[in-house]
Amino acid sequence: MRNTRDTNLLCELSKPGRRAARLPACDVPVQEIADLLPAEAVAPQPPALPELSEPQIIRHFVNLSTLNMSVDTHFYPLGSCTMKYNPKRNERAAAMTGIADLHPYQPEETLQGMLALLYEMQEYLQEISGLEACSLQPAAGAHGEYTALLVAAAYFRDMNQERTKVLVPDNAHGTNPASAAMAGFQSISVKTTSDGFVDMADLAAKLDDEVAVMMITNPSTLGLFEPHMREIADKVHAVGGLIYLDGANMNAILGISRPGDFGADMQHYNPHKTFSGPHGGGGPGAGPICVTKKLGPYLPAPIVREDGKRYFLDFDMPKSIGQVRSFFGNVGVLVRAYCYIRTHGPDGLRAVSENAVLNANYLLSRVKHILPVPQGNRCMHEFVASAATLKKEKGITAMDVAKRLLDYGFHAPTVYFPLTVPEAMMCEPTESESKETLDAFAEVLFRITEEDAQTLHDAPHTTAVSRPDEVRAARQPVLTWAALAD
């Protein structure tokens, strides 16, 4: 039963003088603050935080949680995000004493277990990618892209080559061109064909010796393996450029095809996708990167190494780009990914990709009779259906379908991405779902397309809210509760 009273804003629930936390009495001699700190640095009173009871806080957040869909409560086929099951054993491991309570500046001799884990993680990621060096430092996929582009820039600077361009296919994630711009490159869009593949003629036209990097997502955002991958890599390499593999879709090719083998010089992983780290309502993720041997010296420092006796952090990397964040990396996420890899082993990882691809193809085989899938009959781990016909014939948009799915207890696919497919609905079921779930989803999707248009325009009908006014939110921004009083 929905409880709307306790989900009022914390500031509305607050009552002066109420408090949840009690701190211990100070057990050292207490001195006047005025004697310890300069008067001009001290605030007259603490910040005006809400004043609440502990049961109120619990009830507030637990009730709020029930307004979310999540992997643990619903099928969540959000394409490109790999919303697979988040194993509970990994949560337990990451929270262990000796894992969760390690300080980043502890001496190496007190960290031999953790450093062993991180060293092995570097090795596994290199093996899975077919590349020779690894940095676990980046904090998210986009951060990994950015870091790798800085590595490329440092490499070319060291080679005395002035290269200013980064090529990005027009169906790439928005993070690709954004990362290129942040790293100081000019981002140049390369066309893709109606099949969803890189337009080789357009690529040829844009390749020159100013190209530093071509970023490519393979399998692509359309869920297709790029048939010209080798040729693309050869052409980019021929002008002296590097290939960056956006590893968002690694879930399709674990143990099946390795980026290093198909021509990539650099790649990132999204351990929160491929290796089951929970998505946390929008993070944390992690964005470890692997690169070829020649690019290894430019990676962020430190890297974990071992000398036969012990593991240690190697800061002695004179060509390193430096650091892209503080401390070692998003270790808590890496620990979960490590557990996931150890749980599967080589056969298990391969089986993950096989079943991710089987599930996606099965769902595709059912969905294509309901909504056209412009890029064909087969896919890798995801596919992109289009509601364009539905829109033309009945005025029903991809967004309408997405919203109506919520009423039936399914999270929506990713909609309106990639931009190259009109009314796109990107479905990624992942390997951890069963045939029954996929059947139920397809049946609901069919039922929805048979419903009258108005029902869909007004959907969702069963959720706490329906169709928020996004224009108003952007034009008259209310971003804090203080703004409510204005």
Report angle CA 247, 201, 205 to the nearest 5 degrees. 90
Closest distance between another protein and the C-beta of residue 268, in Å? 12
- 194/463 with CB nearer another protein: 463
Closest distance between another protein and the C-beta of residue 207, in Å? 19
Closest distance between another protein and the C-beta of residue 452, in Å? 17
Separation between Cα atoms, residue 148 and residue 292, nearest integer Å: 11
Bond before 46 cis per omega within 30 degrees: no
Per DSSP bridges, beta strands 303-306 and 266-268 are unpaired
- 26/393 with CB nearer another protein: 26
Closest distance between another protein and the C-beta of residue 234, in Å? 12
Closest distance between another protein and the C-beta of residue 390, in Å? 19
Closest distance between another protein and the C-beta of residue 15, in Å? 11
Closest distance between another protein and the C-beta of residue 306, in Å? 13
Structure tokens at 425: 């609905």
The b/e string for 424-438 (b: 16+ C-beta within 10 A; e otherwise) is bbbbbbbbbbeeebb
Give me the DSSP letters along 309-343: S-EEEE---TT----SSSSS--HHHHHHHHHHHHH
User: Torsion angle of alpha carbons 426, 427, 430, 433, nearest 10°?
Assistant: 160
Closest distance between another protein and the C-beta of residue 219, in Å? 9
- 50/422 with CB nearer another protein: 50
- CB atoms closer than 10 angstroms to residue 165: 20
Structure tokens at 139: 């904090």
- 48/238 with CB nearer another protein: 48
- 238/479 with CB nearer another protein: 479
- 20/159 with CB nearer another protein: 20
- 142/203 with CB nearer another protein: 142
What is the distance between the terminal CA atoms of the chain, rounded to a whole angstrom?
Answer: 34
Looking up tokens 């394409």, which residue turns up?
79
Separation between Cα atoms, residue 278 and residue 86, nearest integer Å: 6
- Cα–chain center distance at 61: 25
Give the H/E segment covering residue 217: strand 211-217
Closest distance between another protein and the C-beta of residue 381, in Å? 10
- 37/239 with CB nearer another protein: 37
Closest distance between another protein and the C-beta of residue 372, in Å? 17
Measure Cα distances from 266 to 37, 107, 331 in Å.
50, 31, 21
Separation between Cα atoms, residue 207 and residue 218, nearest integer Å: 19
Q: In the Cβ-directed half-sphere of 246, how many Cα atoms lie within 13 Å?
A: 31
- 50/240 with CB nearer another protein: 50
- Order across the sheet with 242-246: list the strands: 133-135, 289-291, 266-268, 242-246, 211-217, 165-169, 186-190
Strand partners, 187: 166
- 92/392 with CB nearer another protein: 92
